[in-house]
Structure formats: structure tokens, C-alpha cells
Amino acid sequence: MSLSDHVRYLRALKGGPSNADLQQVLGDEDTSLYFAIEQRYRDVSTNEILPKIAAYYHVPVEELQWHRVRSRRALALHIHAALQNHATVTLRLRTGETLMGRPVWWDLAAIGLQPADEEGLIVVQRQAVIDWEGSEEGHAPDRTAVSVR
């Protein structure tokens, strides 16, 4: 899950704080950057804003850094390569589940995954994927694999 997806997830868990709430905590300049982090498909975060966001959501900075290296683009490239090579992928979801299968299509919102020994198709929302084989070494912080708080 990219940093932008994770920040939107944290915002939702906090009840969807308003723009004014965020502006009060972060200030004008950092609030603009915060919204860019949430909305852009590429990482625009800075090392200076991550501790502020982490403090606001009461999460470790390392959690945000972990998601930062798992960009939407990196997942798209991984899925696209597997699609071209008819290869199997392993996707770890926010719920802690792991799915394995061959991607048969993908777009900006979802991945169509054909399980290895089953018929049918599993449609996986991209923001639910927190990790995949080959993303970066290391495991997700334990709390990100929890689906309910």
C-alpha cells in the first residue's frame, strides 16, 4: 500500500478530520503538501512532514516510511510484468490475508487475480494490497496487518 493510500486509510480511521482540523495541526504549507501526498499517484512527501503526520495519527514514523517505498507505480510495474510473463504473484492484504495467483488484468483501482488451482477471478482493490513479493525487504509493521482497531 502506497503512502498516499495509507494516509487516506489513517484519515478515515480517525473519522475523516476536516481540512480545517489538519490545517490547525500542520499549518498552511504542510497542509497543502499533506493533500498532495493523499492525492498524487507519485510520492511527493518530504522527510520533514512524515514525523508531523505520524504524530497526528499516533503511528511510528517507520510505518509511514515503510509504506512510502511501496508506491502505486511499483505495484503496477510488478503486476504488469507478471501479466506479460504469465507469472504468479503473491499479494499481502491489509487484513493479513495472502493471495496467490496470476494477474489477468489490472487498472488504477483493482487487480484481477486468477487463483492457481481454482476457476474464477478474485478482484482485489489496489489500496487493500499492503505488500507483495519483491516490493522491498522487510515486513510490515505488525499493526498495519490488523483490519479492525
Each residue of 89-123: pLDDT tens digit? 999 999 999 999 999 999 989 999 999 888 899 99
Torsion of CA 54, 133, 129, 94, to 10 degrees: -70
Q: Tell me the pLDDT tens digit for each residue of 42-64.
A: 889 999 999 999 999 999 999 99
pLDDT band, very low/low/confident/very high, at 144 (cuts 50, 70, 90): very low
Asked if residue 147 has pLDDT above 90, the reply is no
Specify the pLDDT at position 136: 67
Q: What topology is assigned to 3-68 in CATH?
A: 434 Repressor (Amino-terminal Domain) (1.10.260)
Give residues with Cβ within 8 angstroms of 48, minimum separation 6: none
What are the residue ranges of CATH 1.10.260 in the chain? 3-68
| Percentage of the chain modeled with pLDDT above 70 | 91
CATH of span 72-145: 2.30.30.100
Phi and psi angles of residue 133, each rounded to the nearest 5 degrees, phi first: -60, 125
What are the residue ranges of CATH 2.30.30.100 in the chain? 72-145
